[in-house]
Chains A and B, each alone.
Chain A
Amino acid sequence: MLKQMKNLGIKTSLKMIVPFLITGIFGTLIGACFYMLYETCTMLVAGTSSNAISLNLFLKGVFISFPISMGLSAMMLTLYFIRHPALPFIPILTYAVLILVAWLVLIPSCTKLSLNYDTKTESVKNKNSLSSNLFRKSNSLVTYFSKVYNDNFANGMCINISNDASTIYTFKNVPLEDNKKTFSDSLIAESIEMPRLISYIMNDISTLMEAGKKAIKSWKAENQLTFGASFFKGISYWLCYISMGLALLSVIGLRRVSNWRLLNTFIVILSTFCITSFNSIYYRKTIYEGAAAIVDKWFSKMIFIHDPFAVLVNIVIFILFSVTGLLIDIFKKNNDLDKMGNPV
């Protein structure tokens, strides 16, 4: 009996739930902790103490890291499937169900909760005024505040080292710039500001989450009328948005694209990265304006299709990867499995 289950990949299918849950739970918790830590650091001012633990920030972190974890679950499960090869039918079915649950139920529920939470709670972020008696270097200017008053006025001096010879200016009672940057203190920013690449990835994620929130808001707005066309129109916002999820789901089609599992894992990781990057760039509306305008015209009469360019590209990716995977599974012998479907 056990052998029969193994052959069909039922055991792999059941085991697949474990990495899905681990990704969801641990990914969310770890992500939330780091979000809390990062946000605390952004409020930190050198030379002052700060409380690293904040329930508000942690909850905000949960609302951010849970959809990310769920979004990445397709990639994680594919990596798991590459590592634990089995006959594909049942595991892929399980995989599809899990990912669809994630995109159709878990992510929208979390986004709705997050929207409710955002409206109920005020911004937890407060900007602290700078501390005195420390040097702060920004490009070619070194500032030193001997006193910072509560109204953000300061006394001090600055050294302009951009000139051939450095010039020193002293000043009294001048209003400091209101902090509009991410970090309250440039000193802290200097040492823990995100590297450019991570910042780019985080911007991508943030754009996608904003687009998701927008889709949910539109869905909720249309849902005021529960029946008829507006219900479908409402959900269509979310369905169009999660065409990205469909593209991400299809990366499983690449799991055997080469005979080397390590290479396949990297291809899957990179494909996930490219799909999310494409979608975020689209939602930022910077690069494909021209192409998007043409595609928008094609679908101008179909009111249920929103952001048609992104939907079209995501569906093309889905078809391409799925067909690739299907053809590979049908025609390419899996050397990692024996005749009975057991891993060798």
Chain B
Amino acid sequence: MKRVIQVIAIYTVIIFGLCIGMSFLYGHLPTLLAPEINEYVFSRGMLWFLTILPAIVISGFMVGCAIQWKNNTENSREKYSTAMGQRFQKVIIIGIVITAVLTFTAEIFVPQFKHNMNNAEENPALLNKYLYLGRVAANEGHATLAFQYAEQAYKIYPEDKAVAEFYKESTDAKDIEISSDQLSEVAIPKIIAPIEDANRGYTIKEMLEKSQTAADEKKWFDSHYWATLALTACGGTDTNLSAVQNAANKAWNELNNPVKFDNEKEEKLFATKKEGYSNLTRGDNLKAYYIFKELDSNIENKNDPDIKQYLAISEERVKNEYFFIDETNELKKLKTQRNIFFSISNPDGSNDVVSISGDLVLKDADSMIRYLEGLTIVSFDKYGNFKRSMCVPFAKMLEVPSSIFSETELTRMGISKKTKTIPYILLQSIDRNTEGIVSRPTYSYSATGLPYDVASKFLNMEKIRKIQSVNNDYSSIGNTAQPYLLDDDFDEPNSVILPMPYSDFDLLDSASKGAEVMPYPSLVEFVSKSNSYGYSKEVYAQDMLKRGVYPLFILIIIIFSASFAWNYRLGAKEIFQFKWLFLFPLFSFVVYIVLECCQYIFTLLNYLIVCLCGSYSLIIAAIAYIVILISVSIQFLARRSS
């Protein structure tokens, strides 16, 4: 068998060289960034090579076997001879090695090279987009945002002079902004859950005690803060209610009639602190945050404990409703994903379609956070009519435990009790230092309609023209003149809870790219859920089957080709001629055609199994392929010399 392996190895190396060489000579390149051209051409050559690799290896194996089995065939005059059994053992060993290599390349390398090529093809447009958006942000004075775009652009093409310059400019602008705001240290406290306050973990009695201690120390802000918290916790029934009310009233009165200040500056500082605090108690956390933030930025107030504490409290509350545009700077970027879309069915029969143009996964100290770019949620009612759409340029997604909701709320939202964590999306973002820079979601209640160039791709334009001429309306296609009748209770929210397990988001990340490039374990997990997220179960199940039984398919082909090689082996009196080596491409070409045909026939069979066997299709297919494998093995063992 040594010769077989040698033949396969040499031939494979030659074809590898040819594919790479031809890819470099072929040309026909799409628009690419200069540093990515070589990688793209190499990936293309590799992809060509990997596409024909099964045909090369199998034809090499067949030819090798046909040469190897030229002599010593006298011991195989009968069917099922021991000698044939020994040959079968070797065939199986080589077959398993070839199968492992081919499966590995199909599952790992092919998707990787495809991914590289897709990225290289998309990068020029993406670079232009980042540069354009970055410049717009810089011109509007959003230095941090501009820096983020510049950073993305720099990541794609650091060698480009214009990109490098823009990156440097925006980095400098961002540094200046940060130093001017004296932001030496940005602490991002971890959010445990929305609508939750870190200080609510105390009992009413403890809070009352804290309020009284603060009152004793004449810290009236703290006293009132703890008394108010205790008051909220009492819910109007606790036995401590009157004591809590008294503490709160007393603290508030003290705040309203403060002791005389030594100077005007102190009086002004107190008034500002009180304004901030009042906003906090009224629920205007954002206003309170900016007041305390401004106070904190003044070096003279560096040691004021009230400012520090209420800045932290207001920041924590703000982060339940908003996120900071510059948050991503402090976090470690893990991966980015483009164009994710899925649908969610609601218990009332309506559907929401979620589309995200970019997904950035980041990791802070101990949790994963996703930043969503270009988030759009389109809602349809239970009759399939367009209800509304919501879009926001940036959103932040957090993982929150479903236990914070009551069972009734979970049922209303259509979330299973078994779901541990769910995605909570903050739709509003703010600038950390400048008040007024707020990005909010935009809601629309009329269908946009379709432009002609898009409509012509999937609509019957002839019918459209007829309808337009009858109505004498050529404005747009499929738009709605009247907005959808609003639900009375719909209040445009600034955050969204998606009724799905948070972990499914990772599955949808890869499902959006297509079944063929999904990691196999994810694909298996996704098949049963595919329909509920708007993906065809047939397609994903067929792909799962195709990839799952691919090793068995290759093994069947290898054993079958071994039988073929035995039947047409080199005659005992013949000598292998060197010139025959040059006919190897002929073998590979024919094997390629046969392989393609077999693969297609098996694809159709897979579809039949998927349609007939549903959830058991993988098991049934595996059994069917094993039966075929056993049959071809028996057929091989039955070979004999004439």
B604 and A263 form a contact (CB under 8 A): no
A138 and B478 form a contact (CB under 8 A): no
Closest chain-A Cβ to B548's Cβ sits at a distance in Å of: 14
Closest chain-A Cβ to B476's Cβ sits at a distance in Å of: 9
Closest chain-B Cβ to A265's Cβ sits at a distance in Å of: 5
CA–CA, A213 and B570, complex, Å: 43
Of the candidates A172, A187, A265, A267, the one whose C-beta lies within 8 Å of that of B385 is A172
Known: A133-B534, A201-B593, A266-B583. 17 other contacts (CB 8 A): A41-B607, A50-B611, A52-B611, A84-B642, A133-B351, A144-B343, A147-B385, A157-B353, A161-B339, A164-B129, A174-B464, A174-B478, A192-B607, A197-B596, A198-B600, A260-B576, A261-B568
Q: Which residues of A contact B386 (CB under 8 A)?
A: 146, 155, 157, 170-172
Given contacts A52-B608, A166-B357, A175 and B459 within 8 Å (CB-CB): yes
A343 at the interface (CB under 8 A from B): yes
Q: Which residues of A contact B351 (CB under 8 A)?
A: 133, 146
Q: Which residues of A contact B631 (CB under 8 A)?
A: none
B601 and A34 form a contact (CB under 8 A): yes
A134 and B463 form a contact (CB under 8 A): no
Q: Residues 241-275 of chain A: 1 if any B CB is under 8 Å from the residue's CB, otherwise 0?
A: 00000000000000000111111111101100100
Q: Which residues of A contact B448 (CB under 8 A)?
A: 168-171
CA–CA, A145 and B380, complex, Å: 10
Closest chain-A Cβ to B237's Cβ sits at a distance in Å of: 47
Q: Which residues of B contact A82 (CB under 8 A)?
A: 568
A194 and B600 form a contact (CB under 8 A): yes
A37 at the interface (CB under 8 A from B): yes
Q: Which residues of A contact B604 (CB under 8 A)?
A: 34, 37-38, 41, 192
B378 at the interface (CB under 8 A from A): yes
Q: Which residues of B contact A165 (CB under 8 A)?
A: 129, 357, 374
Output the nearest chain B residue to A44 by Cβ-Cβ distance: B538
B253 at the interface (CB under 8 A from A): no
A113 at the interface (CB under 8 A from B): no
Q: Residues 342-385 of chain B: 1 if any A CB is under 8 Å from the residue's CB, otherwise 0?
A: 11010000010101010000000000000000101010100111
B82 at the interface (CB under 8 A from A): no
Give residues of chain A (125-163) contacting chain B, Cβ–Cβ below 8 Å.
132-135, 137-139, 141-147, 152, 155-161
A46 at the interface (CB under 8 A from B): yes
Closest chain-A Cβ to B550's Cβ sits at a distance in Å of: 15
Output the nearest chain A residue to B373 by Cβ-Cβ distance: A165
Q: Which residues of A contact B537 (CB under 8 A)?
A: 46-47
Q: Which residues of B contact A344 (CB under 8 A)?
A: 571-573, 642
Q: Residues 475-502 of chain B: 1 if any A CB is under 8 Å from the residue's CB, otherwise 0?
A: 0011110000000000000000000000
Q: Which residues of B contact A169 (CB under 8 A)?
A: 448-451, 454
Q: Which residues of A contact B480 (CB under 8 A)?
A: 172
Q: Residues 36-57 of chain A: 1 if any B CB is under 8 Å from the residue's CB, otherwise 0?
A: 0110010010110110100000
Q: Which residues of A contact B132 (CB under 8 A)?
A: 164
B457 at the interface (CB under 8 A from A): yes
B460 at the interface (CB under 8 A from A): yes
B600 and A171 form a contact (CB under 8 A): no
Q: Which residues of A contact B607 (CB under 8 A)?
A: 37, 41, 191-192
Give residues of chain A (326-344) contacting chain B, Cβ–Cβ below 8 Å.
335-336, 343-344
Q: Residues 141-156 of chain B: 1 if any A CB is under 8 Å from the residue's CB, otherwise 0?
A: 0000000000000000
B460 and A175 form a contact (CB under 8 A): yes
Q: Which residues of B contact A188 (CB under 8 A)?
A: 536, 538-539
Output the nearest chain B residue to A147 by Cβ-Cβ distance: B384
A182 at the interface (CB under 8 A from B): no
Closest chain-A Cβ to B460's Cβ sits at a distance in Å of: 4
Q: Which residues of A contact B292 (CB under 8 A)?
A: none
B454 and A141 form a contact (CB under 8 A): yes
A170 and B378 form a contact (CB under 8 A): yes
B539 and A143 form a contact (CB under 8 A): no
CA–CA, A152 and B460, complex, Å: 10
A138 and B457 form a contact (CB under 8 A): yes
B574 and A259 form a contact (CB under 8 A): yes
B378 and A168 form a contact (CB under 8 A): yes
B458 and A47 form a contact (CB under 8 A): no
Q: Which residues of A contact B600 (CB under 8 A)?
A: 194-195, 198
Of the candidates B457, B539, B583, B589, the one whose C-beta lies within 8 Å of that of A191 is B539
A190 at the interface (CB under 8 A from B): yes
Instruction: Report which B residues bind A (CB closer than 8 A).
Output: 62-63, 66, 125-126, 128-129, 132, 339, 341-343, 345, 351, 353, 355, 357, 374, 376, 378, 380, 383-386, 389, 391, 447-451, 454-455, 457-460, 463-464, 467, 477-480, 514-515, 531, 534-539, 542-543, 564-565, 567-574, 576-577, 580, 583, 586-587, 589-590, 592-593, 596-597, 599-601, 603-605, 607-608, 611-612, 642
A178 at the interface (CB under 8 A from B): yes
State the interface size on chain A (CB cutoff 8 A): 76
B534 and A171 form a contact (CB under 8 A): no
Q: Which of B62, B384, B642 has the most CB of A within 10 A?
A: B384
A173 at the interface (CB under 8 A from B): yes
B565 and A262 form a contact (CB under 8 A): yes
Q: Which residues of A contact B374 (CB under 8 A)?
A: 165-166
The count of A-to-B residue pairs whose CB atoms sit within 8 angstroms is 226
B478 and A171 form a contact (CB under 8 A): yes
B450 and A158 form a contact (CB under 8 A): yes
Closest chain-A Cβ to B503's Cβ sits at a distance in Å of: 21
Q: Which residues of A contact B355 (CB under 8 A)?
A: 159, 166, 168
Of the candidates A37, A83, A134, the one whose C-beta lies within 8 Å of that of B534 is A134
Of the candidates A133, A265, A335, the one whose C-beta lies within 8 Å of that of B568 is A265
- Give the 6 A-B CB pairs with smallest separation, nearest first: A147-B384, A171-B478, A46-B536, A164-B129, A146-B384, A146-B380
A17 at the interface (CB under 8 A from B): no
Q: Which residues of B contact A142 (CB under 8 A)?
A: 339, 341
B612 and A52 form a contact (CB under 8 A): yes
Q: Which residues of B contact A147 (CB under 8 A)?
A: 380, 383-385
A176 at the interface (CB under 8 A from B): yes
Q: Which residues of B contact A155 (CB under 8 A)?
A: 380, 384-386
A122 at the interface (CB under 8 A from B): no
A47 and B536 form a contact (CB under 8 A): yes
Q: Which of A133, A176, A178, A269 has the most CB of B within 10 A?
A: A133
Q: Which residues of B contact A52 (CB under 8 A)?
A: 608, 611-612
B590 and A192 form a contact (CB under 8 A): no
CA–CA, A174 and B132, complex, Å: 35
A266 and B478 form a contact (CB under 8 A): no
Output the nearest chain A residue to B589 by Cβ-Cβ distance: A270
Q: Which of B467, B478, B597 has the most CB of A within 10 A?
A: B478
CA–CA, A319 and B354, complex, Å: 67
CA–CA, A178 and B461, complex, Å: 10
Q: Which residues of A contact B608 (CB under 8 A)?
A: 37, 52
A168 and B586 form a contact (CB under 8 A): no
Closest chain-B Cβ to A190's Cβ sits at a distance in Å of: 7
Output the nearest chain A residue to B642 by Cβ-Cβ distance: A343
B380 and A335 form a contact (CB under 8 A): no
CA–CA, A258 and B132, complex, Å: 66
Q: Which residues of B contact A38 (CB under 8 A)?
A: 604
Closest chain-B Cβ to A127's Cβ sits at a distance in Å of: 13
